[in-house]
């Protein structure tokens, strides 16, 4: 692997199983000037008001013109590693190192757990990921946003959570379905994000909405692969209906167990907005749902690492309007969303192709 490059700054990542700070003192004794960034543990935020000691997020040690940035990764439910935001509290010297140039810390980040291998570089034994390319590729797409636990608690103060057996069973089935879908799409290498009711559940209450009836995912149309349908079938989710075509308004729906459906909406990109399509099977009417452009961020939802739109509030408000905070049990996909537009009608000749029900 050769020499360590980045003469002026190197990033080291460590996994925090139990961080012993003896090394900190040794570094200081050697002449390093070290800076420690810590913050509250986000894994405790989801639970009503727990507060422990702060956890270390970043260490930056400086000696002359060299600086070492030590990023502390923490394990989280969902089998991923998370690192925190490098936020400088009031008294810290903003010129300690050129913070703008640091590769990590601009946002919190989430990474798949890498397997490590031991190598020798410059006579030092260090560990690096077994698949360094994969790890490096993750970096630009690693931005992580936390679920809004505080707002979710406020929501449940107002609208009591549904604790009936039906709600619990639905939640469990939906969670299982989501996990299966995630696994299948990951194997195919297809990116997806939480959409519609599932996204609203994440944003509003950090949980699956009990009366939502199905799991909704979004996929960029350019990520579409023709073997999606077969892959889901093999995973035990038969195709329930297929609307539209790759060129226009594609929508897939798979049948999960316990009557829970998996709806996949494909998003098309225009110059200044995104949209996905809908079809009414009986009449062949087409619908278009408009969204402002968005990028994808990671988040944690029902013990899984999944994507959501980074610009979530705009996404939600496009789909549900400004009154998204108020639970609505009767939602008509043809009329209720504020961003729905009628988009004409499929010509009858195409109906066999664009409306397939099983």
Partner 1 sequence: MDDWKPSPLIKPFGARKKRSWYLTWKYKLTNQRTLRRFCQTGAVLFLLVTVIVNIKLILDTRRAISEASEDLEPEQDYDETLGRLEPPRRRGSGPRRVLDVEVYSSRSKVYVAVDGTTVLEDEAREQGRGIHVIVLNQATGHVMAKRVFDTYSPHEDEAMVLFLNMVAPGRVLICTVKDEGSFHLKDTAKALLRSLGSQAGPALGWRDTWAFVGRKGGPVLGEKHSKSPALSSWGDPVLLKTDVPLSSAEEAECHWTDTEMNRRRRRFCSKVEGYGSVCSCKDPTPIEFSPDPLPNNKVLNVPVAVIAGNRPNYLYRMLRSLLSAQGVSPQMITVFIDGYYEEPMDVVALFGLRGIQHTPISIKNARVSQHYKASLTATFNLFPEAKFAVVLEEDLDIAVDFFSFLSQSIHLLEEDDSLYCISAWNDQGYEHTAEDPALLYRVETMPGLGWVLRRSLYKEELEPKWPTPEKLWDWDMWMRMPEQRRGRECIIPDVSRSYHFGIVGLNMNGYFHEAYFKKHKFNTVPGVQLRNVDSLKKEAYEVEIHRLLSGAEVLDHSKDPCEDSFLPDTEGHTFVAFIRMEKEDDFTTWTQLAKCLHIWDLDVRGNHRGLWRLFRKKNHFLVVGVPASPYSVKKPPSVTPIFLEPPPKEEGAPGAAEQT
Please identify which residue in the block is written with the tokens 């260490």: 59
> Which CB sits closer to partner 1, 91 or 322?
91
Taking the least distance from each CB to partner 1, the nearer of 142 and 253 is 142
Where along the sequence are the contacts to partner 1 (CB under 8 A)? 17-18, 40-41, 43-53, 75-79, 85-88, 90, 94, 99-100, 106-107, 149-150, 163, 168, 171-172, 303
Instruction: Phi first, then psi: give them for residue 106, nearest 5 degrees.
Output: -65, -40
Q: What's the min distance (Å) between Cβ of 201 and partner 1?
A: 15
CB 2 within 8 A of CB 120: no
- Alpha-carbon distance of 193 to 178, in angstroms, equals 11
* Nearest-approach distance from CB 170 to partner 1, in angstroms: 11
Backbone phi and psi for residue 192, each to the nearest 5 degrees, phi listed first: -145, 165
Q: Which of 259, 294, 261, 288 is nearest to 275 (CA)?
A: 288
The nearest distance, CB 3 to partner 1, in angstroms, is 29
Nearer to partner 1, 250 or 302 (CB): 302
Tokens of 340: 């729905």
Q: Which is nearer to partner 1, 142 or 196 (CB)?
A: 142
Q: Which is nearer to partner 1, 176 or 223 (CB)?
A: 176
**Closer residue to partner 1 in complex, CB, 98/132:** 98
Given a contact cutoff of 8 angstroms between Cβ atoms, the answer to whether 265 and 288 are in contact is no
CB 210 within 8 A of CB 173: no
**How far is residue 56's CA from residue 51's CA, in Å, rounded to a whole number?**
15
Exposed e or buried b for every residue in 46-67, given b needs 16+ CB within 10 A?
A: beeeeeeeebbbbbbbbeeeeb
Q: Give min distance, CB of 148 to partner 1, in A.
A: 8
Closest residue by Cα to residue 56 from 99, 28, 90, 23: 23
Q: How far is the CB of 96 from partner 1 (least distance, A)?
A: 11
Nearest distance, CB of residue 27 and partner 1, angstroms: 16
C-alpha span between 311 and 247 (Å, rounded): 26
Q: Which two tokens stand for residue 106?
A: 């601009």
- Residue among 77 and 336 whose Cβ is closer to partner 1: 77
Report the nearest approach of partner 1 to the CB of residue 244 (Å): 37
Q: In angstroms, give the least distance from the CB of 191 to partner 1.
A: 23
Residues 6+ apart with CB under 8 A from 319: 196, 199, 200, 289, 291, 337, 338, 339
- Please name the residues in contact with 44: beta carbons below 8 A apart, sequence gap of 6 or more: 50, 51, 52
Residue closer to partner 1 by CB (options 229, 304) is 304
To the nearest whole angstrom, how small is the minimum distance from the Cβ of residue 106 to partner 1? 6
Taking the least distance from each CB to partner 1, the nearer of 61 and 208 is 208
């Amino acid at each position: 692997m050769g020499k360590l490059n980045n003469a002026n700054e190197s990033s080291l990542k460590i996994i925090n199983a139990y961080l012993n700070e003896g090394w900190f003192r040794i570094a200081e004794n050697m002449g390093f000037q070290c800076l420690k960034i810590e913050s509250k543990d986000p894994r405790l935020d989801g639970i009503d008001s727990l507060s422990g000691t702060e956890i270390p997020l970043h260490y930056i040690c400086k000696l002359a013109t060299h600086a070492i940035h030590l990023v502390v990764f923490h394990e989280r439910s969902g089998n991923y590693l998370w690192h925190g935001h490098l936020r400088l509290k009031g008294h810290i010297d903003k010129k300690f190192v050129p913070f703008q140039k640091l590769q990590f810390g601009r946002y919190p980040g989430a990474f798949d757990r890498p397997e490590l291998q031991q190598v020798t570089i410059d006579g030092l034994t260090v560990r690096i990921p077994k698949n360094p390319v994969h790890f490096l590729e993750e970096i630009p797409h690693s931005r992580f946003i936390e679920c809004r636990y505080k707002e979710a608690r406020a929501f449940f103060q107002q609208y009591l959570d549904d604790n009936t057996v039906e709600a619990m069973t639905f939640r469990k089935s939906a969670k299982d379905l989501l996990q299966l879908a995630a696994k299948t799409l990951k194997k195919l290498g297809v990116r997806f994000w939480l959409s519609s009711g599932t996204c609203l559940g994440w944003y509003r209450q950090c949980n699956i909405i009990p009366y939502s009836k199905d799991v909704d995912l979004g996929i960029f149309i350019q990520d579409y692969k023709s073997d999606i349908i077969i892959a889901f079938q093999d995973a035990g989710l038969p195709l329930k209906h297929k609307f539209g075509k790759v060129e226009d308004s594609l929508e897939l729906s798979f049948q999960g167990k316990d009557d829970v459906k998996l709806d996949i909406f494909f998003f098309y990109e225009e110059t200044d907005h995104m949209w996905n399509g809908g079809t009414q099977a009986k009449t062949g009417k087409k619908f278009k749902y408009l969204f402002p452009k968005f990028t994808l961020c990671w988040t944690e939802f029902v013990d899984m690492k999944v994507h959501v739109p980074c610009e979530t509030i705009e996404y939600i408000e496009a789909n549900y309007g400004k009154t998204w905070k108020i639970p609505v049990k009767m939602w008509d996909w043809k009329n209720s969303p504020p961003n729905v537009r009628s988009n004409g009608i499929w010509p009858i000749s195409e109906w066999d192709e664009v409306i397939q029900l099983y």
